[in-house]
């Protein structure tokens, strides 16, 4: 299956706007990332369109170090490029991913048990059953859009189950979350994204208010009843953390699962290797995460003057960590541009790193693994049934459509 994005030559580097959501959806930046890692691993992007300039980190070494560097870099002003260039994220210190230090550790501890392997046992059984059911239904039809019919449904159901979102609200929640930081068309306006974010916040404000008088066995109730250092969480902390969980728990894994099937279509040898048991589920899941890298970048703000990779960073500078480049770094991975399910070791940064390592990592691995196992057990062959389509975003990377024909074992 041929690639569907033209490769950008490094000669175009100075003309590229890495904040452009259309760029990442329509063009392949593999050669640009390779050039940057080799010749300009810490690059300064100048200001443009009235927005601040920013630093770009592209090597695995610099990015893993930056994730651990809470002394010089903070996520409390924002953790994505658009938010930081827009003056900062309003959820700073009120959302777990935008909180550092002791407060971050304390609030994270409230949620850790729910997202532990033991805490996810019952949900894991439902996810595995759902994966087999959805793929079985796709086999009966013969064709499906895997990104829509399977990859969308499993993460959405799982995170909504955990948050206690009623089934009748879930399609609405998906419509909103899928347009907050990305879209299926290049025409989404910042105002539309802003409206979607606010609708989600309003939804969880109402849901959390209801849980105070009618508690349930879900995360919203957990947050409304939690106490940290003797005090309950603020209303803002509850709502912003629900927002973060529904976005992170649904969208990133959707990208990984859809991308896994696209990877099989593009690499039939690895599909056969998976069918014949040449890789463990654990290794295959890690390679899917490395290969797809749903969170293309994360961002930090410099707290003080510091040096990164030989570059002088000033206090207040925006620093972007391009995971999508780090996960193809020749110094960190053997044959990084090959999809190899049995890859080991595989120290990818698809789930971030340091104190902000993905809270839902076990859930994401469980969901991806359930789909991979169902594919191996139920599907004899898969072939493309149309052109795949990518989402438009400078933060999330992946596919929103993967038409595929399936043949049962």
**pLDDT digits 0-9 by tens, 391-403:** 999 999 999 999 9
Neighbour-count burial for 60-70, b at 16+ CB within 10 Å, e otherwise = bebbbbbbebb
Helices 361-378/268-275 angle, 10° precision: 90
Output the CA–CA distances (angstroms, integers) from residue 56 to 19, 352, 357, in the order listed: 11, 16, 20
Tokens at 11, concatenated: 């000669």
Whether 1 is in a domain gets the answer no
Whether 3 is in a domain gets the answer no
Q: Show the domain range for 337.
A: 10-408
Whether 63 is in a domain gets the answer yes
Whole-angstrom distance, CA of residue 166 vs CA of residue 287:
33
Q: At residue 2, does pLDDT exceed 50?
A: no
**Which of 137, 121, 188, 104 has its CA nearest to residue 366?**
121
pLDDT digits (tens, 9 = 90+) for 157-166: 999 999 999 9
Would the pTM count as exceeding 0.95? yes
Neighbour-count burial for 315-326, b at 16+ CB within 10 Å, e otherwise = eebbbbbbbbbb
Whole-angstrom distance, CA of residue 260 vs CA of residue 294:
11
DSSP state of 295: B
With a pLDDT cut of 70, the percent of the chain lying above it is 99
Please check whether residue 173 is in contact with residue 246, taking contact to mean a CB–CB distance below 8 angstroms: yes
Whole-angstrom distance, CA of residue 33 vs CA of residue 12:
12
Whether 5 is in a domain gets the answer no
Whether 294 is in a domain gets the answer yes
Q: At residue 1, does pLDDT exceed 70?
A: no
How big, in percent rounded to 5, are the helix, strand and coil portions of the chain? 50, 15, 35
Output the CA–CA distances (angstroms, integers) from residue 402 to 258, 265, 383, in the order listed: 7, 10, 10
pLDDT digits (tens, 9 = 90+) for 212-248: 999 999 999 999 999 999 999 999 999 999 999 999 9
Which residues are 320's β-sheet partners? 56, 299
Unique residue bearing structure tokens 């409304």:
224
Neighbour-count burial for 373-389, b at 16+ CB within 10 Å, e otherwise = bbbbebbeebebbeebb
Say which CATH number the domain at 192 has.
1.10.630.10
Tokens at 223, concatenated: 């947050």
Whether 2 is in a domain gets the answer no
With a pLDDT cut of 90, the percent of the chain lying above it is 96
Whether 111 is in a domain gets the answer yes
- Domain tally, the chain: 1
Please check whether residue 327 is in contact with residue 94, taking contact to mean a CB–CB distance below 8 angstroms: no
Unique residue bearing structure tokens 């971050």:
104
Tokens at 120, concatenated: 């996810």
DSSP state of 360: T
pLDDT class of 35 with cuts at 50, 70, 90: very high
Whether 392 is in a domain gets the answer yes
């Amino acid at each position: 299956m041929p690639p569907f994005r033209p490769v950008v030559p490094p000669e175009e580097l100075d003309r590229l706007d890495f904040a452009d959501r259309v760029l990442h959806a329509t063009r392949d930046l593999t050669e640009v990332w390779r050039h940057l890692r080799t010749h300009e691993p810490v690059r300064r992007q100048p200001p443009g369109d009235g927005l601040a300039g920013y630093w770009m980190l592209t090597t695995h070494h610099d990015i893993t170090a930056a994730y651990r560097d809470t002394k010089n870099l903070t996520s409390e002003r924002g953790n994505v490029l658009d938010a930081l260039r827009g003056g900062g994220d309003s959820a700073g210190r009120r959302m777990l991913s935008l909180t550092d230090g002791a407060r971050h550790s304390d609030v994270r501890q409230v949620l850790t048990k729910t997202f532990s392997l033991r805490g996810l046992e019952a949900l894991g059984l439902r996810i595995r059953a759902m994966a087999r059911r959805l793929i079985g239904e796709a086999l009966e039809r013969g064709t499906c859009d895997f990104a829509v019919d399977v990859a969308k449904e499993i993460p959405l159901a799982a995170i909504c189950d955990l948050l206690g979102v009623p089934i009748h609200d879930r399609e609405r929640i998906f419509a909103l979350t899928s347009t907050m930081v990305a879209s299926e068309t290049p025409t989404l306006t910042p105002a539309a994204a802003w409206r979607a974010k606010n609708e989600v916040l309003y939804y969880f404000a109402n849901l959390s208010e209801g849980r105070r008088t009618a508690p349930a066995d879900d995360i919203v109730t957990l947050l409304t009843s939690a106490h940290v250092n003797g005090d309950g969480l603020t209303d803002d902390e509850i709502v912003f953390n629900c927002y973060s969980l529904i976005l992170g728990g649904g969208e990133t894994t959707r990208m990984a699962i859809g991308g896994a099937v696209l990877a099989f279509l593009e690499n039939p040898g690895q599909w056969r290797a998976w069918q014949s048991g040449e890789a463990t589920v654990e290794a295959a899941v890690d390679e899917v995460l490395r290969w797809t890298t749903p969170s293309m970048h994360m961002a930090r703000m410099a707290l003080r003057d510091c040096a990164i990779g030989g570059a002088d960073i000033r206090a207040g500078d925006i620093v972007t960590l391009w995971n999508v480049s780090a996960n193809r770094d020749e110094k960190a991975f053997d044959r990084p541009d090959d999809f190899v399910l049995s890859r080991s070791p595989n120290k990818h940064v698809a789930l971030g790193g340091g104190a902000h390592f993905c809270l839902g990592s076990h859930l994401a691995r469980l969901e991806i693994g359930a789909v991979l196992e169902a594919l191996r057990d139920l599907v004899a062959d898969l072939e493309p049934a149309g052109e795949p389509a990518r989402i438009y975003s400078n933060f999330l990377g992946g596919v929103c459509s993967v038409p595929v024909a399936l043949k049962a074992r």
